[in-house]
Structure 1
Amino acid sequence: MYLLTFKLLLLQLPLLFRTLAGNSCFSTMKRRAHMDGDVTITGFFPLNTFGIDHSNSHVSSQEEHTPFVFKNYQFVLALAFAIEEINKNPDFLSNWTLGFDVYDVQVRTWTMFKNPFIWFFGKYKIPNYSCMRDRRSIAVLTGPLGFTSDKIGTLLGLYRFPQLTFGPFSHALSDHHKFPALYQMAPKDTSIATAIVSLLLHFSWNWVGLLNLEDENGFWSLAELKEEMAKNRVCVAYELVISSQSISHVLQSMAVYNDINKSSANVHIIHGDNGSLIPLNVFIEQLLIKGKVCIMNSQWDFTMKRKYFMVGSLHIPLIFIHHHEDVSGFTDFVKAVNPSKYPEDIFLARIWFLSFNCSNPQSDCVTWDNCPHDTSLDWLPGRVFDITMSGHSYNIYNAVYAVAKALHEMLLHQTEVQIMGNRKETLPSPAQLLHFLKNIQFHNSVGHQVTLDEKRKLEPEYDILNIWNFPEGLELEVKVGKFSPNALHGNQLSLSEDMVEWATGNTETPRSVCSEPCGPGFRKSPQEGKAACCFNCTPCPQNEIANVTEMEHCVKCADHQYANTQRNQCLLRDESFLAFGDPLGMALACMALCFSMLTAAVLGIFVKHQDTAIVKANNRTLSYILLISLIFCFLCSLLFIGRPNTVTCILQQITFGLVFTVAVSTVLAKTVIVVLAFKSISPGRMMRWLLVSRAPNLIIPICTLIQVTLCGLWLGTSPPFVDTDAHSEHGHIIILCNKGSLTTFYCALGYLGSLALASFIVAFLARNLPDTFNEAKFLTFSMLVFCSVWLTFLPVYHSAKGKVMVAVEIFSILASGAGLLGCIFVPKCYNILLMPNGNSLHGFREKRQQSRKN
């Protein structure tokens, strides 16, 4: 591989030498900056971008290109500043001094090797193993463009000549098999993907476009960025991988015009270095719609592309650059620089002639009679020349110190192993320096750790820059934020949004989403065949909420809560039960008390008139039992009112079942006695014994015992308990008594119904028996009302909900009890109270005689 490269370089030599011969002034390699020293550091910097020659340009036309030249000249100043600091330090290098030689390296491939070849091999010598370069040079600085360092590094690697590149960290240059003598000063961008995604998340941008360079660095950074985006659910609207060929740039840019501008993505992430993407930058202003946000990684040198990008600040740039502290004394050093101080710096002379109305030099031999003597680089506008140390200059500063420290270590080592006579006559070898250079690690003047070992490099912090261009042409770089990868999670990104200039006259943050966020009350429904960031917003189901935006699943409210109408909050349900304070509960309680008191009054009447014919003829004892059971029937309805608890839930059903069983079995006993008394015309011994022994009265305890057994089974298997119903009424949680075992409940209720049906049938058969005191008709009507009430109760009870269901059960209890009371005892009370003559034996006989006469 090296042999092939070497042959290609040989083919370039004739063209290079013909170019050099065309200029008599600069053919002797005086187009350089020089500072004398015992050992020197050589720098190859792109001081004339695109190889533009300003020597014969008019001042007005030069202004179009001066930002490129002027900005890059800071590289020379950083090199000179570091060397002067080292030379002034008595602890460094003993009696040795450092110097430098800086040459321009042009971006165009066919002229890139012109100055490096002449420096390394001499003016007209063919490259061979007899090197003609200045023997005092021990290291070379290259940058900031990666491919220039690559090309020059291929040549220097053949001779194991130390090379330090100050440009952005490149994975391609970290191959020590290909570049055994090359070291990168910039830190690795291990956190740039996290930093960019953190910025996207801060502004809620989840729909972005990617523009990346088609090279090893581009693919590496793109893969890492896409992985980080996927972790944080940031989607790629489109992805453009740009070829490194200039013509391909143009064709690809035209081809993706629709993809870029018709996409709803307003944020574009651009990865790549300066030189490779310069042709693309020319077209970006014409391709991208005004107001788009461009996020650029730390590999971009904004100063070199200003005239090709950001024209009129049509776009909003957010640029990540490596954070570094200001080196003390550098600004004052720059202010004091002038051509008189560095007479062998042709680049500084050119800046002075272009900037301060000096005569235009026609040769490298210049006079300063027409130049102001009090001028300074500080006079130049910040957008033309910035006196603050840039990131690349900071890397140059560290690179010079790394070389000086390695040289210092090498000299100390030589002192230990041998006694040196005249040390200045023994020049250090670059190959020897390379051995010491790879182990160098130190802290610079601002306390930052500097190491050339890639494995020991610390993760860099990033400053976030925004370009202010209001008023037009200001082009001021403003730090608006910072990303610290070593900070606690959540505190890594700090940003001042109010300092970001989005667009002229616009203070709102741009939006870049595929679908607008789903607000509270809605969940995201993915759109089939589209990215995860594209979705529809679907309302949450009933009793489920989404209390924040961007929820993929709604959250179900707890049983004691319910979702509000907006379905963004769970509210506590109001407890719902039939309380005594409710109008319905109060009315039913009053009815129960009235009926129980009325039944007690009827019982009092019967007790008072217990010796009357009607009371005696209708079995006084059974009447007392029936009235007492009816009192308890009416009162048991009160157990259904109020907040349920375990005791009341058990008593509700058990009391209801037992007292109604007693009442209905009493009616059945009365009916059987009527049948036995009046149905048999000539009763036999058995009939008479049944009547005399009052055996029908045993119906009551027997029937009640059966119901007690059923209730016992009910309580033993699955007794009633307090339950809640959170679904029947919106916003309410119904407190109710669960029946427990529905089987035993319906068995108890069915048994009660069978007793009522038996009583109805027996009473119906005895309804037409002739006798004045025959109550079979009244018993028939009472059982008819009882059965009708409970047959109506079943469907109504199961269709009702909440407190209405409880009210239906209470009403059925009161209605059936009132039916028994009214049908059986109201006619008897009428006769007892209003027709006393009909309630005696004498009156009965008179009535029979009167009916016979009639």
Structure 2
Amino acid sequence: MVDFMKMLLVVLSCIMCKAHVVQRKISYPHPPPQKYYRSGNFLLGVIVSQTLFVSAEITFTEEPTQSLFEDLIVVTKNYQHILALEFAIKVMNENPQILPNITLGFYIYDSYFTAKWTFFAAMQLTSQSERFVPNYKCGMQNTLAAVIGGLDSQTSFHVAITLDIYKIPQLIYGCAPVMNDNISGLSFYRMAPNEVRQYAGILSLLLHFRWIWIGVLTMDDDNGERFIRMVLPGFYERGICFAFIERIRDMNFVTDTNDILISGKRIHDKIMDSKANVLVAYGESHTMWYLRWLVYLSAVVPETATPKYKVWIMTAQIELNSVAYQRFWDTEMFHGTIAFAIHSNYLPEFQQFVETRSPSSNQEDGFIGDFWQQAFGCVFPSALVGEVDGDICTGEEKLDNLPGSFFEMSMTSHSYSIFNAVSAVAHALHAMYSSRPNNRGSENGRGLKFQKHQHWQLHQFLRGVSFNNSAGDYISFDQNGELVAGFDVINWIISPNQSFQRVKVGRMDSEAPLDQAFTINEDVIIWHSWFNQAQPLSLCNDNCYPGYSKKIREGQPFCCYDCIPCPEGKISSKKDMPDCYKCRDEYYPNKKQDFCIPRHISFLSYEEPLGISLAFIAFFFTFITGFVLGTFIRHHNTPIVIANNRNLTYTLLISLLFCFLCTLLFIGRPQNVTCLLRQIAFGIIFSVAVSCVLAKTIMVFLAFMAIKPGSSMRKWVGKSLGNSIVLSCSLIQAGICTAWIASSPPFPDVDMHSVMGEIVLECNEGSVTMFYSILAYMGFLAIVSFTVAFFARKLPDSFNEAKFITFSMLIFCSVWLSFVPTYLSTKGKNIVAVEIFSILASSTGLLICIFSPKCYIILLRSELNNKDQLIRRTC
């Protein structure tokens, strides 16, 4: 750090030396009394911030002595303010409609950016022009109508304190001073709109380009502190975060060079290290001098990395200007800056007026000499200076050859404000004297002498002033004494040859509501080439693209976040969404989860392969069952049909026939009738079928038990027992179904969540408990039937059905036991397919296992279908 400071101190010394082409050893006890005067019936006092009086000490550690230099540094660009005032006076005096027979004059004093000389200049304006005697007026003198100034808030504040004593109107063309509770309200008029609109415009600009991670630079003064305390919280509430907020020390007087260099190096490093590509600079006219130091530091410090260019957002008081020692400093860093400026308009006559300016033709101008020397880097010969080194000023140098940071030929916004201030005072004076019918002047040796007026009388006419200036803009003040106007949004274009151009790219309207006042044409903005002419981004991290949502990083501002994928079933359709959201019920997320796709309606229909296949199988086995039934009917008198209880056999076959046909109720678009019948029909028909199997099993068991000698089972064997079993078991299931219909019957429903991308039309079971009760009851009948058949499977008879019923019930139970977990784990229309398959499989198992052996004997082995075979015993 010590070596770094040594190097920068030497650099600063060299800068100050090279800033002046002509070296002059001077030591002013106070600045020279610069002023510019032109007589008139009414005078406008003007206090400008034109010259900086610098007195600096730099200690060189290599030498025990100190280097002291004192000099006047002219802010050459501010000289246009003087020309704007003179031009405005000329326009007013040449207008016969404004104050006829009255001439406006002016006094211009320099404030030197210090309180002492600002108070001195303000007191001079209230004294006689020949001598400085405050509060004393003697003899004939011109009347001071109003004071215009100053450019910086402190200058305006010091002037306002003095003028408030005399009630002289003050028109401020720069920053308004910050008033605290200990100071009574000072009377002044602002030639700038309310800054609330500027703040709203900056916020709208940031939100328009989605610049949410920014750096902030302010002056370390009351205005800067007010900006931080009152404006930035509003930015934060609208989603703007701050990478850093730095306060810039005032550089009007270089009293501690070491501290300034250290502070500048720290701020420079913070800017370069930050991810923020946008910097908001809030300050006053001289803020640019410090900002240019930041640029210079990146060039003179060897260890500094390649500079990262930023998008600067400048407030209305900051202009691109330079002082003499910054003549050759690079301004490329400010190329592409977006600046707010008080609304101004083009005045071609002003440029013509400026082109005629030269030291030889305007010798009464007390500022033009110093301006000319520092602007062109030359010196006018003078006997007081003695021998000089460097270029000699000829007075023929051209102002339009100066860089834009030194001087502009077109009127700047501050100069335009001065022009409007002069016009406002002239119109107010005209209104005041026009309101006095007896106000007649009398001729004397000194010209027209009007009735004496008091300073306070002009206030009411200034507050009510309303006119269109020569550029066509409407000029008036609101109830707070602020100009009713908007702000222009300016794009700074700086060419490689350091030429400077201001291009209007937007507007902050004064009449529209704040949330609608901002407009910008981003297509005409020229960004710095470092951004490859693409719109710059200023984010703490990369955007979260659609399909992802933000997750705030713990311990960091909300603008810093991570990106996490959306959970299943949710999407995010825009960048940087705080959370993912579900699609509407009619839609579902795509694979990337960045937009919603319309769902298609899904149900098991006859038009799709699965529905066609199941329907075909159902009809096929229905036909087979019908064929078996027909075969048994044709051979109903044969022993094998008679031995197996013909009535139960026919009942079982008819129930199996309906079991196959009931599957057709499950295929097709769910309707009220089909939803109500499908489970009820399935439950009752299957109960009948299983009851028949149970009855046949019991009848086989009892038949073999009854043939034993002395058996008491013989009285139970008969048709009535089988019919009773079928009827009683079926009625129990019918009762369960009736209770189901009465309490919570099935109904058509829509399932939008089970299957991605589908709206499943289904039958809601109404009561799941009742549905599983039906299944449980059928399972109970099947288990009982299986148990009885299992024990009767080895009874000695060639036509014993027990062994076949055992296999059929084994298949039946296996199918429906596997149905339950499969049903619960299946979604969408496949649920219906699972149930149909279970019905078809279990029915087919009963049909094949029980009736295929009998059909084989009836159709292919008819010789076995006789009574001898029926009564034959196995050995």
Q: TM-score, normalised by structure 1?
A: 0.83
Change (3 A) 1:646 1:107: same
Change (3 A) 1:256 1:716: same
- Kindly report the root-mean-square deviation, in angstroms, between the aligned alpha carbons of the 2 structures: 4.1
1:568-607 CA-to-partner distances (Å, cap 9, x unmatched) read 1222344444444544444433332222211111111111
Per-residue deviation at 1:722? 3.5
C-alpha distance in 1 between matches for 2:185 and 2:855: 123
Partner AA of 2:223 in structure 1: N
1:696-742 CA-to-partner distances (Å, cap 9, x unmatched) read 32332232222111111111222223445555554445444333212
Out of 593, 609, 623, which is 2:649 matched to?
Answer: 623
Q: Does residue 68 of the first structure (1) align with residue 75 of the second (2)?
A: yes
Change (3 A) 1:812 1:444: closer
Q: Does residue 444 of the first structure (1) align with residue 462 of the second (2)?
A: no
Per-residue deviation at 1:525? 0.3
Partner AA of 1:95 in structure 2: N
The runs of 5 or more residues in structure 2 that have no matched partner are: 1-25, 56-70, 299-303, 385-391
What's 1:322 paired with?
Answer: 342
Matched residues, number: 809
Change (3 A) 1:173 1:468: farther
C-alpha distance in 2 between matches for 1:501 and 1:66: 32
Per-residue deviation at 1:821? 2.0
Change (3 A) 1:185 1:839: closer
What's 1:398 paired with?
Answer: 420
1:397-436 CA-to-partner distances (Å, cap 9, x unmatched) read 2222232233334434554489979793346345354444
Per-residue deviation at 1:632? 0.9
Out of 203, 206, 209, which is 1:200 matched to?
Answer: 206
C-alpha distance in 2 between matches for 1:117 and 1:457: 25
Out of 409, 424, 431, which is 2:455 matched to?
Answer: 431
Change (3 A) 1:654 1:340: same
What's 2:272 paired with?
Answer: 261
Contact 2:351 2:410 in 1 (8 A): yes
Per-residue deviation at 1:37? 1.9
The runs of 5 or more residues in structure 1 that have no matched partner are: 1-17, 53-63, 365-369
Contact 1:562 1:571 in 2 (8 A): yes
Deviates more, 1:383-392 or 1:307-316: 307-316
Per-residue deviation at 1:641? 3.2
What's 2:660 paired with?
Answer: 634
C-alpha distance in 2 between matches for 1:183 and 1:173: 18
C-alpha distance in 1 between matches for 2:524 and 2:431: 50
Per-residue deviation at 1:311? 2.4
Contact 1:250 1:280 in 2 (8 A): no
Change (3 A) 1:308 1:318: farther
Change (3 A) 1:135 1:581: same
Q: Does residue 292 of the first structure (1) align with residue 292 of the second (2)?
A: no
Q: Does residue 478 of the first structure (1) align with residue 503 of the second (2)?
A: yes
Q: TM-score, normalised by structure 2?
A: 0.81
C-alpha distance in 2 between matches for 1:720 and 1:508: 62
Change (3 A) 1:161 1:724: closer
Out of 38, 44, 47, which is 1:44 matched to?
Answer: 47
3-state SS of 1:532 partner? coil
Per-residue deviation at 1:803? 4.8
1:448-501 CA-to-partner distances (Å, cap 9, x unmatched) read 443455526356422233333322322333333333354574672213345424
What's 1:33 paired with?
Answer: 36
Q: Does residue 234 of the first structure (1) align with residue 240 of the second (2)?
A: yes
Change (3 A) 1:750 1:48: closer
C-alpha distance in 2 between matches for 1:420 and 1:604: 141
C-alpha distance in 2 between matches for 1:788 and 1:504: 75
Contact 2:604 2:833 in 1 (8 A): yes
Change (3 A) 1:428 1:83: farther
Structure 1 vs Structure 2: percent identity of aligned residues?
38
Partner AA of 1:482 in structure 2: R
Change (3 A) 1:147 1:699: same
Out of 539, 552, 558, which is 2:578 matched to?
Answer: 552
Deviates more, 1:71-80 or 1:711-720: 71-80
Per-residue deviation at 1:522? 0.8
Change (3 A) 1:134 1:384: farther
Per-residue deviation at 1:297? 0.3
3-state SS of 1:822 partner? helix
Deviates more, 1:819-828 or 1:168-177: 168-177
Deviates more, 1:490-499 or 1:376-385: 376-385
Taking the TM superposition and a 5 Å limit, the aligned residue runs for 1:52-201 are 68-69=75-76, 71-108=77-114, 111-112=117-118, 120-121=126-127, 127-131=133-137, 135-138=141-144, 139-172=146-179, 177=184, 179-180=186-187, 182-201=188-207
Partner AA of 1:150 in structure 2: F
3-state SS of 1:73 partner? helix
1:326-374 CA-to-partner distances (Å, cap 9, x unmatched) read 347433444455678756334457778999999946499xxxxx99999
C-alpha distance in 1 between matches for 2:373 and 2:822: 105
C-alpha distance in 1 between matches for 2:842 and 2:401: 108
C-alpha distance in 1 between matches for 2:598 and 2:288: 61
Q: Does residue 750 of the first structure (1) align with residue 780 of the second (2)?
A: no
Deviates more, 1:140-149 or 1:623-632: 140-149
C-alpha distance in 1 between matches for 2:210 and 2:285: 29
What's 2:859 paired with?
Answer: 833
C-alpha distance in 2 between matches for 1:351 and 1:657: 107
Contact 2:74 2:370 in 1 (8 A): no
Per-residue deviation at 1:172? 4.0
Change (3 A) 1:353 1:749: closer
C-alpha distance in 1 between matches for 2:181 and 2:90: 30
Partner AA of 2:264 in structure 1: S
C-alpha distance in 2 between matches for 1:298 and 1:840: 118
Change (3 A) 1:686 1:322: same
1:63-92 CA-to-partner distances (Å, cap 9, x unmatched) read x999833x3333233223332333333333
Out of 785, 807, 811, which is 1:785 matched to?
Answer: 811
Change (3 A) 1:541 1:320: same
Taking the TM superposition and a 5 Å limit, the aligned residue runs for 1:688-727 are 691=717, 694-726=720-752
Deviates more, 1:215-224 or 1:593-602: 215-224
What's 1:7 paired with?
Answer: none
3-state SS of 2:216 partner? strand
Out of 252, 257, 260, which is 2:263 matched to?
Answer: 252
Partner AA of 1:152 in structure 2: V
1:33-69 CA-to-partner distances (Å, cap 9, x unmatched) read 33332222232323444489xxxxxxxxxxx999833
Taking the TM superposition and a 5 Å limit, the aligned residue runs for 1:422-821 are 424-426=448-450, 428-445=452-469, 446-452=471-477, 455=480, 457=482, 460-484=485-509, 486-487=511-512, 489=515, 492-503=518-529, 506-681=532-707, 691=717, 694-726=720-752, 728-771=754-797, 773-821=799-847
C-alpha distance in 2 between matches for 1:308 and 1:349: 19
1:766-824 CA-to-partner distances (Å, cap 9, x unmatched) read 44555555534444443343334333433443344445544433333223222322233
Contact 1:154 1:179 in 2 (8 A): yes
1:224-276 CA-to-partner distances (Å, cap 9, x unmatched) read 43133113211011111234475464453344454333222222211111246
Per-residue deviation at 1:97? 1.9
C-alpha distance in 2 between matches for 1:571 and 1:75: 64
Partner AA of 1:210 in structure 2: V
Partner AA of 2:161 in structure 1: T
More helix by share: 1
Per-residue deviation at 1:637? 2.3
Change (3 A) 1:557 1:311: same
C-alpha distance in 2 between matches for 1:805 and 1:306: 87
Change (3 A) 1:452 1:821: closer
Q: Does residue 387 of the first structure (1) align with residue 440 of the second (2)?
A: no
Change (3 A) 1:397 1:765: closer
